[in-house]
Structure 1
Amino acid sequence: MKPNRVRGAALALLLGASASWGLPGAAAGAAAGSLPADGGAALYRLALTPGGRGTAGLDRQRTRPFALLGVSWTDPSAELAGTVEARTRDAATGRWSPWTALEPVAPGLDGPRPGARGSTEPVWVGPSDGAEVRIRGRGALPAGLEAALVDPGPDPASPAQRSGPASARRQPPAPRPAPPGPASTAPRPAVVPRIAWGADETLDTEGPVYLPGGRIKAVFVHHTADARPYDCAQSAAIVRAIHVFHVKANGWRDIGYNFLVDRCGTVFEGRQGGIDRPVRGAHTGGWNAESSGIAVLGEHTAEGAPPAALAAVARVAAYKLGQYGGVLDGTTTLTAGATQRNFSGASFTAGRAYPFRAVSGHRDGFATECPGDALYAQLERIRTADAVSGW
């Protein structure tokens, strides 16, 4: 995937402008699902056609407008071994993108749930109106394979619009506020709240879950994935799209990450439950019970995150760790919630305790390339950052 090179003014457009994700008159495919009456984010499903010898695919076709894509299947415990690739049609130019690899998600990240599905990680592809998918499996493929396309809908344009009838349908009555979390040794960073990035709270009806021990001992750093460079003016749309994919395609209770950070250093509130609270996320298989997850928007395998993003991650991590006596360059001990290996081949046994850096990469706990080679190499810079300024 290509690294991001485009900068923008995220927060100004986040709070003051709307976005359109398709061209007028674009042809619509026969995807299941329909746009919400309030014009919010939507997910469409397109069934993949089985082929011979462990293959399946979606023929190249025009679709309804979308900007994020992934693949899901019926049984969340079924393994999709092999390669999953997709390409999309640029809604503005009509050009088809190169093939992009999609990485399967670890099963059970949000615990056992009725209606949960297996899936790949979603990929931000930008405003698109066509899709093609191909799968080459090693052995039998899971049943119920579908392409899941997300239209993030428009940004919330103003406080007045957010309080209007459409927003009211997306924002059910707020639950009773939870008691505040503990004070931190580091300042609380500026965070864009869920209502400001346009979270559809009617999707998250179960309420938050908090860490069983009530203490965040480590922060795991992630990246998301993109097949096209994003401008920071699109960051809220990316967060909305990931939220919808996690809930509607994966069957999770909410977005998986606790916080998301864009390349311009804007921090977005992720999973509901309180910025200052020990909210249990769905981000690092086997380690969610004692940690918080921060995702940096974009693909960071070949190119690292910009300084503004690294500084923002450091501020969030310092604040969350500092609530429980931790520091950026510290170490901790975590109890494995699953028997598995990590990216470097280290083995973990469920129920046993293992040492971790207080700021770790996703790959330190699980067999994944996340957060990408380049961002992983930058973690030491985050660990040595100033908790106030970020550097």
Structure 2
Amino acid sequence: MARRTLLGAAGAVAAGAVIAPPVLAATGDSERAAAGPDDTGDTGDGTTTETFPRTRAEAASGEGPVETAFPIGYVGVTWDGTDETTGGGIRLRDADGGRGTWEPLGDGGCSVANGGGVLIAAGQAAGYELRAPDGATGLRSLALDTRHGPGRKVRVPTDPTRVRGVEYLSRAAWGADEKLRFKADGTENSPTAFYPFQTVTVHHTAMANDDPDPAATVRAIYQLHAVTNDWGDIGYHFLVDEEGRVYEGRYSGDDGMPAHDKDGKVVTAFHVGGFNSGNLGIALLGTFTEQGPTEPARDALTRLVRALVRLHGVDPLARVTYTNPVNGVRKEVPEISGHQDWMATECPGAVMYQELDRLRTSVAAARR
């Protein structure tokens, strides 16, 4: 029987997935609500102090029921024994003890395909019950609140940040807690490694559409990837929400160039197991198996990919032979690919996958 594992630094290297700047978008309501009247202000050095809620988390094992003292925004679920979510489910509970209907765990997106856990939006529930997937053992869960925790002050750039003219939210601007990248002994869990750019891979996060607080969702994905999956950081280089806001993902240093070092090499992230180094991953927030992205998200993705294609001087319509610079493993893929071009997964969703030709054509047309 296959064993579902949490892919850490050593596991990623063994799999050939080596561990492997700027938009200042408006901060979500959850961050503003957590800020006091004296918590923001220009520091005089090109940054301003913003207050973000510290993530609260409570771990549990088994199918439950589980209750927490804080409103549950998301539930992360991991298990052993199978790589499938079939048969698995979750039922949420409200503060009055009412139970919702059983909902499937879904396909879990990139995290599941890469050996990690499922992240499910819980809508501020008071508790939940789980059903383990068929054949699963060692069921574990983590209740997360990324909206209402105690305030944590972060220094955020005062002016909008851009990469090749495309605005994006820096890690600081969406409230990334950089402490999550480090182990208890203070060492970095997944030290940065940089390799020449080869390809772009598009993903979806396989989470709820019409997200009321996408920055909170990005923080939850970060917690799942960095800590629960033990990857040491968020798995994508960039994320795009339904309003067209772009978020900086994987940490790449403090030189102001997201996803790259000063020489233009790409930091290795954790989005396509075995094919990560030199492969730049962009995730659309939401699920696109039965619907496509919003126009703002589609436009933002096109602008971002266009900027990256120009930066690296590649043909967006080409097919290329990706060569893992660590172990030499090769894979023929489109220059702009979907996750399912690399491995068995539904990501980035059937509808979004069909839209990739449109994306390639739009990017190529803008280059002429």
Alignment of structure 1 residues 258-273 onto 2, 5 Å: 258-273=237-252
Given the alignment, which residue of 74, 77, 87 partners 1:71? 77
Flag the 1:372–1:90 CA change in 2: closer, same or farther, 3 A.
Answer: farther
What SS class does the counterpart of residue 375 from structure 1 fall into?
A: helix
Query: Residues 361 and 370 of structure 1 are in contact (CA less than 8 Å); yes or no, is this contact kept in structure 2?
Result: yes
Shift of 1:298: 0.6
Flag the 1:373–1:47 CA change in 2: closer, same or farther, 3 A.
Answer: same
Shift of 1:13: 4.2
Query: Residues 27 and 174 of structure 2 are in contact (CA less than 8 Å); yes or no, is this contact kept in structure 1?
Result: no
- Partner in structure 2 of residue 135 of structure 1: 132
Given the alignment, which residue of 23, 26, 34 partners 1:12? 26
Residues 1:59 and 2:79 aligned together:
no
- Partner in structure 2 of residue 86 of structure 1: 90
Q: Which has the higher strand share?
A: 2
Given the alignment, which residue of 321, 340, 349 partners 1:372? 349
Flag the 1:300–1:167 CA change in 2: closer, same or farther, 3 A.
Answer: same
What SS class does the counterpart of residue 296 from structure 2 fall into?
A: helix
Flag the 1:58–1:220 CA change in 2: closer, same or farther, 3 A.
Answer: same
Give RMSD over aligned pairs.
Answer: 3.5
Task: Point out where structure 1 has 5 or more consecutive residues left out of the alignment.
Answer: 1-9, 21-37, 49-56, 110-117, 172-185, 339-349
What SS class does the counterpart of residue 64 from structure 1 fall into?
A: strand
- Partner in structure 2 of residue 175 of structure 1: none
- Partner in structure 1 of residue 197 of structure 2: 216
CA distance in 2, matches of 1:382, 1:196: 28
Query: Residues 208 and 279 of structure 1 are in contact (CA less than 8 Å); yes or no, is this contact kept in structure 2?
Result: no
**Which amino acid is the alignment partner of residue 203 of structure 2?**
H
Query: Residues 87 and 104 of structure 2 are in contact (CA less than 8 Å); yes or no, is this contact kept in structure 1?
Result: no
CA distance in 1, matches of 2:316, 2:60: 44
Query: Residues 216 and 321 of structure 1 are in contact (CA less than 8 Å); yes or no, is this contact kept in structure 2?
Result: no
CA distance in 2, matches of 1:236, 1:131: 23
Shift of 1:108: 9.9
Residues 1:298 and 2:299 aligned together:
no
Given the alignment, which residue of 306, 326, 331 partners 1:318? 306
Alignment length, in residue pairs?
304
Given the alignment, which residue of 32, 37, 47 partners 2:61? 47
Flag the 1:284–1:136 CA change in 2: closer, same or farther, 3 A.
Answer: closer
CA distance in 2, matches of 1:337, 1:123: 34
Matched-pair identity in %: 31
Task: Point out where structure 2 has 5 or more consecutive residues left out of the alignment.
Answer: 1-23, 35-51, 156-162, 183-187, 261-265
Query: Residues 105 and 120 of structure 2 are in contact (CA less than 8 Å); yes or no, is this contact kept in structure 1?
Result: no
Shift of 1:334: 0.7
**Which amino acid is the alignment partner of residue 175 of structure 2?**
G
What SS class does the counterpart of residue 272 from structure 1 fall into?
A: coil
CA distance in 1, matches of 2:104, 2:134: 16
- Partner in structure 2 of residue 121 of structure 1: 118
Given the alignment, which residue of 290, 304, 307 partners 2:295? 307
Residues 1:284 and 2:268 aligned together:
no
CA distance in 2, matches of 1:72, 1:124: 15
**Which amino acid is the alignment partner of residue 305 of structure 1?**
P
CA distance in 1, matches of 2:125, 2:66: 13
CA distance in 2, matches of 1:300, 1:93: 32
Alignment of structure 1 residues 2-41 onto 2, 5 Å: 11-14=25-28, 18-19=32-33, 39-41=53-55
Shift of 1:264: 1.1
Q: Scaled by the length of structure 1, what TM-score is found?
A: 0.68
Provide runs of 4+ in structure 1 moved above 4 Å: 60-63, 90-95, 104-109, 386-390
Q: Deviations over 1:223-268 (max 9, x none)?
A: 112246413xx11111011111112211111111110000111000
CA distance in 1, matches of 2:90, 2:116: 14
- Partner in structure 2 of residue 346 of structure 1: none
Shift of 1:217: 1.2
Query: Residues 250 and 259 of structure 2 are in contact (CA less than 8 Å); yes or no, is this contact kept in structure 1?
Result: no
- Partner in structure 2 of residue 176 of structure 1: none
Query: Residues 31 and 53 of structure 2 are in contact (CA less than 8 Å); yes or no, is this contact kept in structure 1?
Result: no
Q: Deviations over 1:286-333 (max 9, x none)?
A: 210120111100111111101211121122222223322213323221
CA distance in 1, matches of 2:334, 2:357: 10
- Partner in structure 1 of residue 185 of structure 2: none
- Partner in structure 2 of residue 250 of structure 1: 229
Flag the 1:292–1:127 CA change in 2: closer, same or farther, 3 A.
Answer: same
